[in-house]
Amino acid sequence: MVWQSGCLLRSGGVEMKATRYMEEEVIIKKGIEALIKELGAVEATRFITMPKRKRMESVRRHRGWQKQLDQEKFFNEVFTKK
């Protein structure tokens, strides 16, 4: 027997296994419990409330790239058949 992407392969056939997902509330509860168990209540709270700075930095970097972009040259490079 071999497991392969959600089904069990057996000699002579394939047995499909239904995938069941947990309810969102259960995932949240279990995730928070795991964080508290591993980090403690204070550090788990810090982790959950951390600001998402990285995303904003990448947006600023992308906007800076766009400002310096020569649109016509860029489109010619991307859309011209070679």
Lowest-pLDDT choice from 2-6, 42-46, 62-66, 74-78: 2-6
- Residues 40, 19: Cα–Cα separation, whole Å: 32
pLDDT (0 to 100) of residue 5: 47
Give me the number of domains the chain comprises: 1
Q: 14: phi > 0 → left, psi -120 to 50 → alpha, else beta; which?
A: beta
Look up residue 28 and give its two tokens.
Answer: 């949240």
Q: What is the pLDDT of residues 15-48, one digit of tens each?
A: 666 778 889 999 999 999 999 999 999 999 999 9
Q: Report the distance separating Cα 9 and Cα 53, nearest Å.
A: 45
Task: Classify residue 10: in a domain, yes or no.
Answer: no
Which helix (H) or strand (E) segment is 7 a member of? strand 7-10
Domain with 39, as residue range(s), is 23-79
